[in-house]
Chain A
Amino acid sequence: GAGVSQSPSNKVTEKGKDVELRCDPISGHTALYWYRQSLGQGLEFLIYFQGNSAPDKSGLPSDRFSAERTGGSVSTLTIQRTEQRDSAMYRCASSLLGSTNYGYTFGSGTRLTVV
């Protein structure tokens, strides 16, 4: 696709339920990142995938969070047993390493609300 696509755009879930957030990166982009942004805060790094390398999971806040990237393309971020503090905007980004400007392209995000 032309840009990074995230679904759903909004998700309201009850505390304790599991949620899955999906990211479709730009075709051909080798790197994929998940960030989250709480109200009034900057973007907080969660996890990074690069090609076939082991992902950098250093930003995942707890073992309730996991992510996978299938076939080097689509990624799913899963949050188990959601808590109210998980409420945030979850943003996915992809990049083509080696591009001269180096910038990420972000998706429009999934707004997660845990009630």
Chain B
Amino acid sequence: DQQVKQNSPSLSVQEGRISILNCDYTNSMFDYFLWYKKYPAEGPTFLISISSIKDKNEDGRFTVFLNKSAKHLSLHIVPSQPGDSAVYFCAASAEYGNKLVFGAGTILRVKS
């Protein structure tokens, strides 16, 4: 039972344009949502998070949007840079500090 789904295995974007990565979840108990970025041969690194009391959180070029009624969140990267090319994982938790449930990841390629 996949509680967190990233339906696009890969995404290719031109440098300078917007990258939009999507994530859907099924568990209405999820209250915290995070995005992680992973480069080859490295562990995932935390990127940005949002709690269910918000619908948007912004950090520089990265913005996460949460639509609780649709059980959908997205990560926007603008402008996209070649260094953003990585695997992006969406994750969710039902309780602060508790285990995260991860999606399968989306490979982002930013072309220069």
Contacts and interface: CB of A to CB of B under 8 A. Distances in A.
Most buried by A among B6, B46, B96, B104: B46
Pairs of residues from A and B, 5 with the lowest C-beta to C-beta distance, nearest first: A103-B46, A106-B43, A43-B102, A42-B104, A42-B102
Contacts of B99: 33, 45, 48, 56, 58-59
Interface string A24-62: 000000010101000011111100101000001011000
Interface string B41-84: 11111110100000000000000000000000000000000000
A108 to B, nearest CB: 5
A46 to B, nearest CB: 9
B49 A102 contact: yes
Interface of B: 4, 6, 32, 34, 36, 41-47, 49, 89, 91, 96-105
B49 A101 contact: yes
A42 B103 contact: yes
A28 to B, nearest CB: 15
Interface string A54-76: 00101100000000000000000
A23 to B, nearest CB: 11
B43 A50 contact: no
B104 A104 contact: no
Contacts of B43: 4, 91, 93, 106-109
Contacts of A13: none
B44 A56 contact: no
